[in-house]
Every structure is written in structure tokens, then in C-alpha cells.
Structure 1
Amino acid sequence: MTHALRLRQLEALMAVTLHGSMTRGAQELGISQPAVSRLLSDLRDVLGFNLFNRRDGRLVPTQEVRYLLPDIRRVLDMMTQISEVSQNITDKKAGHLSIACLPGFATSHLPGVVASFLRDRPGVSVTLEPDRPERILEWMVGEQYDFGITDGFEGHPAVESEHIDIRTVCVFPTGHRLSARKVIGPRDLADENLIHTRRDSTFFRDLNEAFQKTNTAINSLVESRQFTAACELVCAGVGVSVVSALDAHKYVGRGLDHRPFAPAIPHRLSLVRPTLKQPSMISLEFMEVFTESLAPYRMG
């Protein structure tokens, strides 16, 4: 072969093979009969053998062409599949998402957002990896994931971020005396066993400052990194807690009640992604959808 094969030549060969006629093959391809004839003539020159014999008024493929037909069908089928997948990618209905998140998100808010996002995108697959904030930062710097959901993020030159302040509430067991309050402050919790985040977290420092300003001591009982774990402990009657409204919402009707906490202490979420990794269209769309899902819980 002195010249490369062209896809249009193979399409012309298959159309004429199927219909046994240059005219009908041209109609299927939406081009003129002379154009089909020219494509097949060029293909014959490339391959070096005749493509058709005429029999009873029909064009019948030669034995050499019959030998090639299974491979030609596979090529055309593959090109059709590539075209369809490409269109799905353009329509944001195909692709892959890799998301790193805080462990609590993997079992609370995020699954519902992912399920809703995938419902109309059957060609999209997802990798979801929960871990601690330090590990999520490592993954973003290493460009191992498209998108991360973390907290306590203080910035990094290799990571782009968007910060979202989520309202916090006081959670307590259903029927607890605190249910009589419309708003709960530090003094209301003076005699309560408190379940709180780790002492080295920004959120605990803000919470502790609010207690100090009212000269109220924190009656610390359990220290936990995750708000979801705190909610589970509250449901079990271990104590009360101040957590993200996002996490508290998932436990309403499951033995937990909540009220706004004052002074307002935000839980700052950071949506992060690698600076130098070009985001796909599907990942940008998911980040937008996820951000919108947080609207009911944002401060202000």
C-alpha cells in the first residue's frame, strides 16, 4: 500500500457491499454516485486488488474483500462508538470523576448528590475516596484526584480552593430539655456533656473561644474528628454537640433534634482541586452541582 486507508473509503465499501449498488450506497452515505465510485477506485488502488464483481446486476464483494469485512465492521463500529462517547462527553453525560472527601461526607451529604448527578448520566463513573484533610491535600498536590472536599485548609500554591461557610447547630437527643430553647448558647450547655471536634481543629478553637467569652467551661466528654460520629453519639444519648447543620440535617427523625447555636460559628468547608491539572467538563459540572447543593446550609 502506497497510501493510508481513509475511513470514508471503508464506509463506501460497506455501503455498496450491503446494498449491491453504487447508487443505493451513495444514497445511504448522502453523497453522489460518482463520489462513491471515486472512493472505491482510490481504495482499490490502496489495497491492490479488485473490490467487486458484477453478478446478476448486483455488485458482489470479491473473496479478498469478504476476508476483510469482519475487521472493517469492527473498525466502523468502533468509530461509531467513539463518536457516541465523544458526543456524551460534550453533553457531559460520560466521563470519570475522582473525588476525595472527608470521611463524614462519604456517608452523609455526598452520596445523595452523587446519586442525583449520575441519574441522568449513565456514561459517568465515579471514584470516591474518604480520608483525613492532610491526605486530601497530598492527593491534590499530586494531582491524583479531580476534586476534594475538606476543612481546615489554609492554602497551597499547587491547589485552587473555594471556601464555603456552613451554619452550625447544637444537636441533642429528641425530648431533651434543650428542645424548649429557640437558640442555644454556651451557658445553656454548662451542665451538659459535650462531644466536640479535635482540640487542634480550627472549629474547636472557635467554639472554645465562644465559651470563654461567656466564662463558661466546656464539659468535655468525647473528642471526635467527624461531625457524623458526634451525631451518632448524641443519638445514643452520650451527650450533646455543636456540629455542621449539613450533618445534623441527616439525623432529623433519627433520635436527634437541633437548634441554632449562638454566637454563629461557621464550619468552613474547602472545595479544592489541583491548580495545574486541567479539569474535565464533567468535573467542573459536578463541582458546580455540589456547590449548589450546599446552598440551604450556608451562612448568610
Structure 2
Amino acid sequence: MNQTLRVRQLEALMAVTTNGSVTAAAVDLGVSQPAVSRLLSDLEKSLGFQLFDRREGRLVPTQEVRYLLPSVERVLELMNQISDVSQDITQRKAGHIRVACLPGFATSHLPNVVAGFLKDRPGVTLTIEPDRPERILEWMIGEQYDFGITDSFNGHPAVESNNIDVRTVCVFPTGHQLENLSTIAPADLADCKLIHTRRDSDFFSRLSKAFHNVNATLNSHIEVRQFTAACELAMKGVGVSVVSELDAVQYASRGLSFRPFTPELPHTLSLVRPILKQPSLVTLEFIEQFKESLTPFAVQ
């Protein structure tokens, strides 16, 4: 075998084998008869044996070609698969995305976004890994994940960040007296047990300051790490909480009500990705779709 085989030569071989003539093969391939003859001639020289015998006006594959055909079929099938996959990649319909997120997001807002994104992209797969903000930052720096959803991000030279401020609301069980109010302020919560985020979090610091500024008492009852846990507890009547509206809406039909909280205390979400890791086209499209999903909840 003196020359490298070309896919077009193998396609000509299969077309003539199937049709029994160069004329019909040329029609199938959309090329001229001389072009098919040239492909077969070059292939025959490369392989070093005769490809066809002529019997009763038809070209019949030789025994050598019959032995070779299963391998040729596998090669052509693989080339078709590569072509289909590459087209899916170009159209953002194939690929794998590794997403790291806060634990609450894995069970609240993110699943809806993922379901909508995958609906018309059967070739796309995802890995979703929930963890603490500190671990998400480590993964981004180490380029272990393509995209991260976190908070409390203070910046890092190896990580690109897009911060989005999301509205916060006060959540409480359906039927609670707070339902009579159109907005809820710290003074309205003076007699309520409060479920809140960790005391060392930026959000709790700002919430405490809002109470302090109007001389209202913050009745700390339960400290949690995630807004989803606060929603679950509030839904069960354990207390009330101030959380991201993103999380609150997930419980709106499950016995939890909410009202806007004033003064405005936006919760900042950080959408992060490694700077030096070139994102795939489908990853960039997913990030954009996720950003768009936050628009109805973003502080204007």
C-alpha cells in the first residue's frame, strides 16, 4: 500500500459494489463517471489488488474486496458519525458541560434551566456538582469545571466573574398575618422568629444592619447555610426568613408565601468560570441562557 486511502475512494468502492456499475455509482455520489473510475483506479493501486470482475454487464466485487467490505462499512459509518457529531457541536447540540453550584441551586432554580436547555439538545450531557463557595472557587482555579454558580466571590486572577444582584423577599407560611402587608420591613418582624444565613456571611451582616438602623430587634432563631433550607423551615411554620426570590418562587405553590423586603437587600450571585480554560460553544450558550433565566429576578 503506497498511498494513504481516502474516504472518497471508499465511498466509490461501496457505491459501485451496491449498484453494480460506475454509471449508477456516479449518480449516487453526485460526481461524473470518469471521477468514479479515477477513484477506483487510485484505490486499486493503493491496495495492490483488483477490485471488481465484470460478469454479465455488472461489476462484481472480487473475493479480496468482499473480505475488505465489513471494515470499509465500519469506517464509513464512523465518518458519518463524526460528521453528525461535528455538526451538532457547531449547532451547540452536542458536548459535555461541568457545572459547580451552591447546594440550594442544585434543587431549586438550576434544574428548570437545565431541562429547558437540554430539550432541543439531545447530544448534550451535564455534570452538576453542588458544594460550598470555597470549594467552587478551588475548582474554577484548578479548571476542573466549566462554569460555577456561587456567592461571596471576592475575585481571583484565574477566575472570570459576572455578578448579578437578585431581589430578596420575606418568606412565611401561607395564612401568616404578614400576608396582609404589601411589603415587609424589619419593624414588621419584631415579633417573629427569624431563620437566617450564617452570622459570618455578608448577607446576614447587611440584614442585621437593616434591623439596627431602625432600632428593630432581630429575633435570631435558626441559622442555616442555604436559602432553600430557610424556605423549607419557614414553610413548616418554624419561623420567617429573608431569602433570594429565586428560591422563594420554588415554594410558592407548596404552602409558602412571600412579600418584597424593604430596604432592598439584594443577594449577589456570581457566575464564574476559569479564565485560561477556553469554554466550548455549548458551554457559552448555557451560561448565556442561565443569565437570561435570572433577568426576571434581577434588581433593575
TM-score by length of 2: 0.99
Q: Deviations over 1:161-219 (max 9, x none)?
A: 10000000011111111111111111111121100000111111111111111112211
**Deviation (angstroms), 1:2:** 1.3
Q: Distance in 2 between matches of 1:112 and 1:52?
A: 58
How far, CA to CA, are the matches of 1:35 and 1:24 in structure 2?
13
Question: What pairs up with 1:77-226 in 2 under 5 angstroms?
Answer: 77-226=77-226
Deviation at 1:256, TM superposition (A): 1.0
Identity %: 69
The separation in 2 between residues aligned to 1:194 and 1:286, in whole angstroms, is 36
1:287 equivalent to 2:282? Answer no
> Helix, strand or coil for the counterpart of 2:278?
coil
Distance 2:295 2:181 in 1: 25
Secondary structure in structure 1 of the residue aligned to 2:251: coil
Secondary structure of residue in 1 paired with 2:254: coil
Question: Corresponding residue for 1:6?
Answer: 6
The alignment yields a C-alpha RMSD, in angstroms, of: 0.7
Q: What is the CA-CA distance between 1:102 and the residue it aligns to?
A: 0.5
- Residue of structure 2 in register with 1:71 after alignment: 71
Partner of 2:30: 30
What are the equivalent positions in structure 2 for 1:187-266 lying under 5 Å apart? 187-266=187-266
Q: Distance in 2 between matches of 1:288 and 1:5?
A: 43
SS of the equivalent of 1:250 reads: helix
Please identify runs of 4+ aligned residues in structure 1 that moved more than 6 A: none
SS at match of 1:269: strand
**Where does residue 298 of structure 2 map in the other structure?**
298
Partner of 2:61: 61
Instruction: Using the TM superposition, give the Cα deviation of residue 147 of structure 1 relative to its aligned residue in structure 2, in angstroms.
Output: 0.5
Q: Distance in 1 between the 2:75 and 2:184 partners?
A: 68
How far apart, in 1, do the equivalents of 2:170 and 2:226 lie?
Answer: 15
Q: Aligned partner of 2:119: which letter?
A: R
| Aligned counterparts of 2:30 and 2:179: Cα–Cα separation in 1 | 73
For 2:183 and 2:28, locate their aligned partners in 1 and report how far apart those are by CA, in whole Å.
Answer: 72
- Find the aligned partners of 1:167 and 1:232 in 2 and give their Cα distance: 19
- Secondary structure of 1:134's match? helix
Q: 2: CA distance between counterparts of 1:24 and 1:191?
A: 87
Please state whether the residue corresponding to 2:276 is helix, strand or coil: coil
Q: Which residue of 1 aligns with 2:275?
A: 275
Count of residues paired in the alignment: 300
Q: Aligned-pair distance for 1:243?
A: 0.3
1:18 alignment partner AA: T
CA distance in 2 between partners of 1:142 and 1:15 (Å): 50
TM-superposed CA distance for 1:3, in Å, is 1.1
SS at match of 1:40: helix
Distance in 2 of aligned mates of 1:174 and 1:60? 80
For the residues of structure 1 that align with 2:109 and 2:219, how far apart are their CA atoms?
Answer: 29
Distance in structure 2 (CA, Å) of the matches to 1:63 and 1:143: 53
How far apart, CA to CA, are the structure 2 residues paired with 1:153 and 1:191? 34
Letter in 1 for 2:46: V
Question: Which amino acid letter does the alignment assign opposite residue 50 of structure 1?
Answer: Q
Deviation, structure 1 residue 253:
2.3
The code of the aligned residue for 1:132 comes to R
Structure 2 unaligned spans of 5+: none
The DSSP-based 3-state class of the residue aligned with 2:36 is helix
